Amino acid sequence: MAAANILTVTGANFEASVLQSKVPVLVDFWAEWCGPCRMLAPLLDELAGEYDGKASIGKVNVDNEQDLSVKFGISGIPALLIFKDGEVVAQMVGMRSKKDLKAAIDSAIAG
């Protein structure tokens, strides 16, 4: 379940909420059964609050949104893609530190 500041991304809202976003969007491809995904969730909640208005955080449940997973070549989770102006500008797979995530988001904002 996504926190208040975190967008639940689906095939239906992907274009509007991610590709057409005015700010960079970090999209977390995750699943309920994925331990590292659950460990990452609190960090994403914190980042969503810290970057409110400067960047967005979204979550794609790979079990529910298989078409999106295939489209972006997701083979391992958690997979974190950062989109800016409709393009993937960064991609990370696996658990990451808050510092690494902030650096990637800051880079997308600056770029």
Q: Which residues are catalytic?
A: 34, 37
* Type of residue found at 26: L
Contacts of residue 103, defined as CB under 8 A and 6 or more positions apart, other chains included, come to none
Taking residue 42's Cβ as centre, other Cβ atoms within 10 Å add up to 11
Longest dimension (CA), the chain: 35
Nearest residue to 85 (alpha-carbon basis) of 14, 9, 20: 20
> What is the distance between the alpha carbons of residues 1 and 8, in angstroms, rounded to a whole number?
8
